[in-house]
Amino acid sequence: MTAVVAHVDRPVRLLAGSERDMLRSTLDYHRATLLWKCEGLDDDQLRLRAVPASTLTLLDLMRHAAGAERHWFQRVLGRPLVEPVYEWLDGWYHPDDPAPARAVVDDFLLACDESRAITAMQPFDDELHDNDEFGPASFRFIAVHMIEEYARHCGHADLLRESIDGVVGE
């Protein structure tokens, strides 16, 4: 087996800086991430089309996104944390939580509204906010990170939706 992409060094993303520098840094990081996902695979492996079965659901993605909204825009920015409607386990949602789908969707929409209100007031300055995942980061980084979080998970949602009813697209 000969790897088409032998080794990828992903660049370190900026955690603070100007909008231009943050966007360039994040774009380069994700360009390298796409290559990194292909690292070590040969020609035949890169051509495989099958997506194996997953235990992940669209509802799980929505719970995850609501949790990320609250984590980054409330907890990390030092705002009061609004608790979700579903059961938490080890700091994240419990995969077997019986909350009705409508309640989870409404909670996601509420989390997004809460984040919009916070981001409308948050200055794009160089103040650093502590977080356990990356270390001190600016609000610019938090906003960019949430964009990448959604970009990743919307890709997951595309695959899940296609497996449910064949719907594909943006």
| CB-based contact 70:85 (threshold 8 Å) | no
Residue-range domain boundaries for the chain: 1-50, 54-165
Range 54-165 has CATH code 1.20.120.450: yes
Q: What percent of the chain has pLDDT over 90?
A: 38
Q: What is the 3-state secondary structure (H, E, C) of 24-75?
A: HHHHHHHHHHHHHHHCCCCHHHHCCCCCCCCCCCHHHHHHHHHHHHHHHHHH
- Write out pLDDT tens, residues 75-114: 899 887 777 666 655 555 666 777 888 888 888 999 999 9
Residue 9 is classified by DSSP as -
Rounded CA gap, 99 and 104, in Å?
Answer: 7
Quote the pTM value: 0.82
Q: Which pairing describes strands 92-93 and 128-129: parallel, antiparallel, or unpaired?
A: unpaired
pLDDT at 58: 87
